[in-house]
Amino acid sequence: MNSEQRHNKPLHADMMIKICGMREEENIAAVASLTPMLMGFIFHEASPRDASLLNPDAVKSLPPFVRPVAVFVDKDDEYISGVCDRYGIHIIQLHGAESPAQCRRLKSKGFTVFKAIGLENSQDLQNLAIYDGVVDMFLFDTKSSCHGGTGKKFDWQLLESYDLETSYLLSGGIDAGDINNIIKAMRPGMAGIDINSRFETSPGIKDISKLVNFILSLRKFNEHEPDTTPFWEKKI
């Protein structure tokens, strides 16, 4: 998608919603009923939302309109491929210091690759150029040593200067009271949002009533019926 196409696209059309940090089977099924486009499963032992012990059937039985995303932190290609094969996942999110070369290798294996980037200042944005055109999408989160899940926001105004071709998901501390802030943050290149810890009753357990109210409120701002096919699948 070139910059002209992005600027001509209605700002609130096709808002992707990714709900991340899932790990309990019943909660996964309940969240899937809310029809998020993307659902994230974290395979990182240090995370309180680690899904490494999750029954693969809980992921493989997701309805086709909910696409699972496997989240990794500095894992090698073999480990990533093994987990994704076991769980039937084709979209990966790399949340560590993975290189553009590794991203290219994983894409060559058929994966859709998201690269999570922690943002704190304008220099962090400038460092993105080496991944532009390499990964399928960025995820912008609050910069931290624990690789996300902080429940804290970064300064969204940093993204006013974003001018790369790669689309991104906005993440980091988004909560139920952020509807108006999200709408104000919408700009060309922003494909949607990633939500996690602010919608939990405990790590890995999402509050369904809170999610229902938030998602319904957010979807009121869509100018068109939501498109259930993400842009990377339309390239095929």
Q: What is the pLDDT of residue 61?
A: 97
186 confidence band (pLDDT: 50, 70, 90): confident
Report the predicted TM-score, pTM, of the whole model to 2 decimal places: 0.90
Whether residue 2 is predicted with pLDDT greater than 60 in this model: the reply is no
179, burial (CB in 10 Å: exposed 0-12, middle 13-18, buried 19+): middle
What number is the average pLDDT over the span 128-136? 95
| Contact of 139 with 119, CB cutoff 8 Å | no
Q: Is residue 15 part of a domain?
A: yes
Q: Is residue 65 part of a domain?
A: yes
What number is the average pLDDT over the span 213-230? 73
Q: What is the pLDDT of residue 80?
A: 98
Q: Is residue 19 part of a domain?
A: yes
Q: Is residue 236 part of a domain?
A: no
Q: Is residue 235 part of a domain?
A: no
Poorest-pLDDT segment among 67-71, 97-101, 228-232 = 228-232
Whether residue 201 is predicted with pLDDT greater than 80 in this model: the reply is yes
Domain span at residue 74? Answer: 3-227
Rounded to the nearest 10°, the torsion over CA 84, 24, 212, 218 is -30
Q: Side chain identity at 48, as an amino acid letter?
A: P
125 confidence band (pLDDT: 50, 70, 90): confident
Q: Where are the beta strands (DSSP E) in 54-202?
A: 67-72, 91-94, 112-119, 137-142, 168-170, 190-195, 200-202
Q: What is the pLDDT of residue 8?
A: 38
What number is the average pLDDT over the span 156-179? 92
Alpha helices (runs of H) in 9-135, residue ranges in sequence order = 25-32, 56-60, 77-87, 100-108, 122-126
What number is the average pLDDT over the span 174-191? 90
What number is the average pLDDT over the span 220-225? 60
13 confidence band (pLDDT: 50, 70, 90): very low
147 confidence band (pLDDT: 50, 70, 90): low
Q: Is residue 69 part of a domain?
A: yes
Q: What is the pLDDT of residue 146?
A: 64
Tally of structural domains, the chain: 1
Query: 40-64: per-residue pLDDT in tens?
Result: 999 999 999 999 999 999 999 999 9
What is the rounded distance in angstroms from the CA atom of residue 87 to the CA atom of residue 53?
Answer: 11
Whether residue 227 is predicted with pLDDT greater than 80 in this model: the reply is no
Q: Is residue 232 part of a domain?
A: no
CA-CA distances (angstroms) from residue 46 to 43, 56, 72, 79, 146? 9, 20, 11, 16, 8
Q: What is the pLDDT of residue 127?
A: 87
Q: Is residue 111 part of a domain?
A: yes
Q: What is the pLDDT of residue 233?
A: 80
CATH number of the domain bearing residue 157: 3.20.20.70
Whether residue 7 is predicted with pLDDT greater than 50 in this model: the reply is no
